[in-house]
Amino acid sequence: MQVAQSPSPTPAPARFFAWRRVKVVLITCFVMSLIILPTWEVAYVLLIGRLLIAGAIVLVAFGVVERRPARLPAWLARWALQVAAVAVAVPVGVAIAYAVTTGGDQHWWQNEKRLVGFGIMTVLGLLASPWIAVTALLNRIKDAARNQALAFELERSELERKALDARLRLLQARVEPHFLFNTLANVRELVATGSPRASTVLDSLIAYLRAAVPRLNEPSATLGQELDLVRAYLEVMHMRMPDRLRFTIEADEEAKDLQCPPMTLLTLVENAVRHGIDPGEEGGHIGVRVWVENGRCRARVADTGVGFGRGSPGLGTGLTNLRERLQLAFGSDASLELQPVQPHGASAELMFPARRGAA
């Protein structure tokens, strides 16, 4: 014979005398008393007392079988055992109720009227109790299914959140080597040409990387941190081409505590340097502005470089990466727009919800 652990409808069985169960027993006893009352010849309190004693015994039987035995044969379902236990407990409970309420009379069953009352209570109990037990079991199964569905939904949401976090970190990992290779390539050019500024630029770059690299793998940053990185980056680039790069940075104070994906502003500024300022002989100006408007944060990076037509190949790679990171962080509530600047240059403006970081 195979023995399997009986599945439980819920993680933990309910208490014997949980109010929900007691309430059902009280209502059932009251209804049965009204049915028996027209033929009852003694005090009503005796009738309701016997019914309550029998109901309590049935309730205990239902609860005991709910827990014991802990293991059942594979062919025997616990719900069937509970219904059978209720059916057996009804006549036993009524007999105990009569024995208790007849003053210890061991031969109460020999009294014809008492025997008739016993039979009526037993028949009514057998008609009602198994069906009530089945209804209770179905309700428990339904509650368990609902709780399990909620648990699955919570687990699915958590897995989706972890997947988004992992994807966001992957995209940020793509930004890190892209940025480092670009900045190191700039230093290499200065060293190769024997520029006296190479040592100064390298020192500035080391100081910048010490501040920037620890933030690359963080799930979020504030615009204040982003602005510090942008300023440090532009200062390094200005040392490399002091006659060709000028920049200004403006930001509302209320915007500095707002959250954004790491490297958001730096990606826009790096694109402006690489694709707008670097390709042109005359260089240009980069303006960074961040402000809050109608509950949304707006950030604009505009340059007076060569514009869209003459920039380096692959202009859209960094911005495509940025768009995807914004999508993961804010969903469809974030946008990134590119526009030409007259007479030449380009402007990148992004908008996203104004969310403040933890205090």
Strands 296-303 and 3-5: unpaired
Task: Tell me the per-residue pLDDT of 206-221, one tens digit each, with 9 for 90 and over.
Answer: 766 666 666 555 667 8
Tell me, yes or no, whether 208 and 342 share the same domain.
Answer: yes
Inside any domain, residue 26:
yes
Instruction: Tell me the mean pLDDT in the region 192-207.
Output: 74
Which of 30-34, 93-97, 184-188, 254-258 is predicted with the least confidence, judged by mean pLDDT? 184-188
In which domain, by residue range, is 12 found?
3-153
What mean pLDDT is reported for the chain?
78
Single residue among 127, 153, 179 that ends a domain in this structure: 153
Inside any domain, residue 117:
yes
Inside any domain, residue 250:
yes
Give the integer Cα–Cα distance in Å for 84 and 55: 15
Tell me, yes or no, whether 129 and 206 share the same domain.
Answer: no
Task: Tell me the per-residue pLDDT of 36-66, one tens digit each, with 9 for 90 and over.
Answer: 888 888 889 988 998 999 888 888 888 888 8
Inside any domain, residue 268:
yes
Inside any domain, residue 108:
yes
Which contiguous run of DSSP H or E holds residue 331? Answer: none
Instruction: Tell me the mean pLDDT in the region 97-124.
Output: 83
Residue 13 has pLDDT above 50, yes or no: no
Residue 322 has pLDDT above 90, yes or no: no
Inside any domain, residue 172:
no
Tell me, yes or no, whether 51 and 125 share the same domain.
Answer: yes
How many domains would you assign to the chain?
Answer: 2
Which of 85-99, 155-169, 214-228, 230-244 is predicted with the least confidence, judged by mean pLDDT? 155-169
Tell me, yes or no, whether 74 and 209 share the same domain.
Answer: no
Contacts of 71 (CB under 8 A, 6+ apart): 3, 4, 5, 6
Tell me, yes or no, whether 8 and 128 share the same domain.
Answer: yes
Tell me, yes or no, whether 125 and 262 share the same domain.
Answer: no
Helix (H) and strand (E) counts in the chain: 8, 9
Strands 284-293 and 296-303: antiparallel
Tell me, yes or no, whether 312 and 229 share the same domain.
Answer: yes
Single residue among 99, 119, 153 that ends a domain in this structure: 153
